[in-house]
Amino acid sequence: MEFLEEREQFEKATAIEDEMEEREGESGTGRGDREKDVDLMAVLQTAVKELHFGRWREREKAARDIMRLARHDGKLRKILAELGVIPPLVSMVVSPVTSSRRLAIQALIELANGTFSNKALMVDAGILSRLPTNFDSLDESTRQDFAQLLLSVSSLASTQFPLKLSTILPFLVGLLVSDSTIQIKDACLGTLYNLSMPLENAGPLIQNGVVAILLTSSSRKETSEKSLSTLGNLAMTLMGKKAMEDSPLVPESLIEIMTWEDKPRCQEISAYILMTLAHQSPAQREKMAKSGIVSVLLEVALLGSTLAQKRALKLLQWFKDEKQVKMGPHSGPQSRRVSMGSPVNEREASRGQMMMMMQKMVKQSLDKNMEVITRRAKVAAESSKLKSLIISSSSKSLPY
């Protein structure tokens, strides 16, 4: 059996070598280039053979050579996959030898670079079922390699390629809640964003406690943008919206993010999520109003990026319309006429006076806020910072 497998791999390598030689002859490649390609093919053939049939030391050397070859160019990545190097490399991922495991992961990272088919082959070979569950046994570098490989493979989610979330999510959640570096968490958050693209993945993500993790990480500026982007995807589903509404961090944490003048993109996404939560939800708008969102929205409407301003103004309009609805029965002429001096007329007059007083107080409060904001804007303009704050940006994935 081993002889047949070895013969099959040899025949594949020979056929590829003949094809390359034929192309070289047609293009008139020089002698030096041909010799270089012959040396390259020799290394490739040896690496494939040692990876399939060598001892663990030989397999380590083969993995290192494959990693170097895969880094060379995209054609070699496809050739290596055709020669069947992915399944044995996936098997090496669970090796008890740390050096073998790391070399296998790094070779797979290079093979996955820019190739849909190679990533699909890795999933078919069972890479997702070989993710570690015990993080204590892994050093920081190995964790980083695993996170980077999973980030690359997770891009398949945008193509509707089936990925087994039951094996991916425990690994990601474990890394995110562990004491990992910012690079590892950044890769994990990127993976969660890729997985959140298909709406049908929202259920498993929410059930694994992802919303709470994302809300916490969104409050840190270094991890906020990716966390908010994933929350924005989840907010498009009823389950995701409900999970955010039930969180004790909402809406205060999202309102706080809207005050980050140095993070315009975070302001924009936070405003989008708040719009999604506030839409057709008086209860959420009331919570937001009590949390002081109106003054923050006024400031963003003046000093935010173009997109943030647009969203802030939309939210402000909702709050304004809702206030007018509540005040509607007492504003404008009444349709029912009553006789002068009657008790009903006196009550109506008293209510009208009270509403006028309330409107005056609200107007004074808004005028005061506008004065403060305008003064800050003038100071910013004098220090030439205003121009950098008004940044034009766009959002392709968000509807607002």
Asked, for residue 147, whether it belongs to a domain, the answer is no
Same domain, 389 and 257: yes
User: How many C-beta neighbours within 10 Å does residue 117 have?
Assistant: 12
For residues 85 and 353, give the distance between their C-alpha atoms in angstroms, rounded to a whole number: 83
pLDDT at position 330 over 50: no
pLDDT at position 391 over 80: no
* The two three-digit tokens of residue 324, written as one number: 């007018």
The model's pTM is 0.76
Q: Which of 82, 109, 130 is the last residue of a domain?
A: 130
Residue 134 has a pLDDT of 81
Residue 355 has a pLDDT of 52
Same domain, 256 and 126: no
Residue 376 has a pLDDT of 59
The domain spanning residue 62 has which CATH number? 1.25.10.10
Same domain, 124 and 257: no
pLDDT at position 37 over 90: no
- The pLDDT of 196-203, averaged and rounded, is 95
Residue with tokens 């280039």: 33
Number of domains in the chain: 2
Residue 77 has a pLDDT of 93
Residue 382 has a pLDDT of 53
3-state secondary structure of 247: coil
Reported as a pLDDT band with limits 50, 70 and 90, residue 40 is confident
Reported as a pLDDT band with limits 50, 70 and 90, residue 339 is very low
pLDDT at position 43 over 60: yes
- The pLDDT of 235-243, averaged and rounded, is 96
Asked, for residue 286, whether it belongs to a domain, the answer is yes
Instruction: Output Rg (C-alpha) for the chain, integer angstroms.
Output: 30
Reported as a pLDDT band with limits 50, 70 and 90, residue 344 is very low
pLDDT at position 29 over 60: no
3-state secondary structure of 217: helix
Contact in structure between 87 and 66 (CB atoms under 8 Å): no
For residues 138 and 133, give the distance between their C-alpha atoms in angstroms, rounded to a whole number: 10
232: left (phi over 0), alpha (psi -120 to 50) or beta: alpha
Same domain, 255 and 389: yes
- The pLDDT of 67-76, averaged and rounded, is 89
pLDDT in tens, 127-181: 999 998 887 778 899 999 999 999 999 999 999 899 999 999 999 999 999 888 9
Asked, for residue 163, whether it belongs to a domain, the answer is no
pLDDT at position 112 over 80: yes
Angle CA 10–16–18, to nearest 5: 100
Contacts of 309 (CB under 8 A, 6+ apart): 300, 301, 302
Same domain, 125 and 260: no
Lowest mean pLDDT, pick from 53-57, 195-199, 391-395: 391-395
Q: Count helices and strands (H / E) in the chain.
A: 21, 0
pLDDT in tens, 250-296: 999 999 999 999 999 999 999 999 999 999 899 999 999 999 999 99
Alpha-carbon distances of 285 from 320, 369, 371, rounded to whole Å: 11, 20, 25
Q: What is the DSSP string of 349-379?
A: HHHHHHHHHHHHHHHHHHHHHHHHHHHHHHH
**Burial status of residue 7 (CB atoms within 10 A of its CB: 0-12, 13-18, 19 or more):** exposed
Q: Which of 105, 130, 155 is the last residue of a domain?
A: 130
For residues 313 and 275, give the distance between their C-alpha atoms in angstroms, rounded to a whole number: 11
Q: What is the torsion angle, in degrees rounded to the nearest 10, for the CA atoms of residue 348, residue 353, residue 357 and residue 363?
A: 80
Asked, for residue 377, whether it belongs to a domain, the answer is yes
Closest CA to 163 of 210, 195, 125, 211: 195
pLDDT at position 393 over 90: no
Percent of the chain topping pLDDT 90: 62
Residue 359 has a pLDDT of 56
Asked, for residue 1, whether it belongs to a domain, the answer is yes
Asked, for residue 305, whether it belongs to a domain, the answer is yes
Q: Which of 96, 130, 164 is the last residue of a domain?
A: 130
Residue 235 has a pLDDT of 96
Contact in structure between 169 and 175 (CB atoms under 8 Å): no
Round the average pLDDT of the chain to a whole number and report it: 81
For residues 33 and 23, give the distance between their C-alpha atoms in angstroms, rounded to a whole number: 12
Asked, for residue 339, whether it belongs to a domain, the answer is no
Alpha-carbon distances of 13 from 43, 88, 108, 328, rounded to whole Å: 11, 17, 20, 81
Longest dimension (CA), the chain: 112
Phi and psi dihedrals of 138, rounded to 5? -105, 135
Asked, for residue 24, whether it belongs to a domain, the answer is no
User: 295: domain range?
Assistant: 251-327+361-394
Alpha-carbon distances of 364 from 289, 323, 327, 358, 360, rounded to whole Å: 17, 16, 17, 10, 6
For residues 230 and 84, give the distance between their C-alpha atoms in angstroms, rounded to a whole number: 35
Which range, 74-83, 254-263, 357-366, 378-387, is most confident?
A: 254-263
- Of all helices (H) and strands (E), which one includes residue 386? helix 386-389
pLDDT at position 57 over 70: yes
